Structure 1
Amino acid sequence: MAGRGKGTTTVRAVRRPEVRLPELRPYDGGPLESEGDYDGLEFLDADWAGQTAHGARFLDCALRRCALDETVLGRARFIDSVLSGVRGVGTDLSQASLRDVEVTDARLGGVQLHGAVLERVVVRGGKIDFPNLRGAKLRDVAFEGCVLVEADFSGAELERVTFDDCTLARLDLTEVRMKDVDLRGAAAVDIARGIDRLSGAVISAAQLLDLAPAFAAQIGVRVE
């Protein structure tokens, strides 16, 4: 557990995205295309349920209140973009790349982000149930005021990641690798698996007490 006093290791701050969108053009409403190239567009209240845009590229775009139920966006790239109020179940973002992206008030269930790369990303508000982040790489990612339920980070790499005012329910941290991960600001932390992988993270004294039963179970200590 890192501290801030003299002679102790400090947690490096997250480098946050600075998204400055240009004047956007409204999208024409047509279906998405695999390997499509979308630049400087605003997608407003679009229903992309069941559509496929594998490998598509979104640069300087805004996606507002779009429906992403079973939408396939595997290997898609989102750069200098904003996703606001997006919602959906079973959205496929496997191996996608998000760089300099702001995600606000998302409501997603079972989103597939395994193998994805998130760099300089803010996830603010909303609720994400059962996200699959297996093998993902998160660098300079700030979660703020959101709820993550049964997030699977198995085998993921987290560097400079924060969870301010977030509720983290039944996290799976199996084989995760952490560096400069700050959990102190989380409203609640519940780790279902992989509590032994918290090396590289910093938690508060109060959180240590809350997690004590899980630590004890990990090393085989009975508390009666």
Structure 2
Amino acid sequence: MTVERARANIDPTSSKAPIPDPQRVVRGEDWYARDLAGQTFTRHSFVDTDWTEVTTKGALFDECTFSGVQFNASRHQGSAFTNCTFRRCVFFDTRFTDCKLVGSLFQESSFTLFQVTGGDWSFVGLPGADLRQAGFEGVRMREADLTGARLERATVIRTDLSGSMLHRSKLSGADLRGSDLSSLDPLTVELRGAVIDLGQAAVIATALGLKVA
């Protein structure tokens, strides 16, 4: 039986952000400090919109596009951003807590003081993302695409990375303790100075063809 993988609503190689529904476009608006708690948005496009200090507790965004959106100091708790596209967005001091982002894709976005705690980020696309010093704690990131992602000095603890694509990712100095590293090929990533626990050391040694006695 073939299981269809959830994915974002845009091809990763496309040069343009999608507009799922031309009748649902929010362009160039200032949404500073809006409270979007409990609201639902389906197939909406937010273009060059200011979401500074926006809160989205329990909100739902499905198949939405965020292009050029400023998420500075925004807070998202128990919200869902499923199969969404984030293109050229700014995430400065942004917090996601217990949120669901299954199948969403991030392109050419910046992440500074970025923090994710809990939630389901399975099948998320973050290829080439600059996530240096970002924080992921207790997150489900099964089969996430982290190909070529920069995670130097990031904190990725107690996170489920099973089946994730980590080829060419940079994990130097990252704290990886308690995370599932079963899909990591130590020959294709940068690991110098990364912090791991004893169980992870055994997994990596086995991946290198070593026998742990």
State the TM-score bracket (shorter-chain normalisation): 0.7 to 0.9
- CA distance in 2 between counterparts of 1:75 and 1:160 reads 27
1:154 and 2:147 aligned = yes
By how many angstroms is 1:49 displaced?
A: 1.0
Query: In structure 2, which of residues 23, 35, 47 is the aligned counterpart of residue 42 of structure 1?
Result: 35
- CA distance in 1 between counterparts of 2:61 and 2:37 reads 13
Q: 1:67 to 1:195 in 2, by over 3 A?
A: farther
Query: In structure 2, which of residues 84, 87, 92 is the aligned counterpart of residue 94 of structure 1?
Result: 87
Structure that is richer in strand per residue: 1
1:167 and 2:160 aligned = yes
- CA distance in 2 between counterparts of 1:52 and 1:181 reads 35
Structure 2 counterpart SS, 1:139? coil
What is the letter of the counterpart of residue 157 of structure 2?
A: D
By how many angstroms is 1:106 displaced?
A: 0.7
What is the letter of the counterpart of residue 92 of structure 2?
A: R
Structure 2 counterpart SS, 1:207? helix
Moved over 4 A (4+): 192-195
Q: Percent identity?
A: 24
Contact 2:172 2:190 (C-alpha < 8 Å) held by counterparts: no
In the alignment, structure 1 segments of 5+ residues that lack a partner are 1-30
Map 1:178-189 to 2 at 5 A: 178-186=171-179, 188-189=180-181
> 1:205 — aligned with what?
198
What is the letter of the counterpart of residue 189 of structure 2?
A: R
Structure 2 counterpart SS, 1:191? coil
What is the letter of the counterpart of residue 155 of structure 2?
A: T
**1:58-98 residue CA offsets vs partner (Å, 9 max, x unmatched):** 11221111111111003322001101111142111133221
- CA distance in 2 between counterparts of 1:195 and 1:123 reads 27
> 2:112 — aligned with what?
119
Contact 1:57 1:76 (C-alpha < 8 Å) held by counterparts: yes
Structure 1 counterpart SS, 2:36? strand
Contact 2:25 2:47 (C-alpha < 8 Å) held by counterparts: no
Structure 1 counterpart SS, 2:199? helix
Structure with greater Cα Rg: 1
By how many angstroms is 1:193 displaced?
A: 5.3
What is the letter of the counterpart of residue 95 of structure 2?
A: E
- CA distance in 1 between counterparts of 2:80 and 2:163 reads 22
Map 1:5-44 to 2 at 5 A: 33-44=26-37
Contact 1:102 1:122 (C-alpha < 8 Å) held by counterparts: yes
By how many angstroms is 1:192 displaced?
A: 5.2
Structure 2 counterpart SS, 1:93? strand
> 1:191 — aligned with what?
183
Q: 1:68 to 1:194 in 2, by over 3 A?
A: farther
The count of aligned residue pairs is: 188
Kindly report the root-mean-square deviation, in angstroms, between the aligned alpha carbons of the 2 structures: 2.2
Query: In structure 2, which of residues 47, 57, 63 is the aligned counterpart of residue 64 of structure 1?
Result: 57
What is the letter of the counterpart of residue 46 of structure 1?
A: Q
Contact 2:66 2:89 (C-alpha < 8 Å) held by counterparts: yes
**1:8-63 residue CA offsets vs partner (Å, 9 max, x unmatched):** xxxxxxxxxxxxxxxxxxxxxxx761232211211111111100002222112211
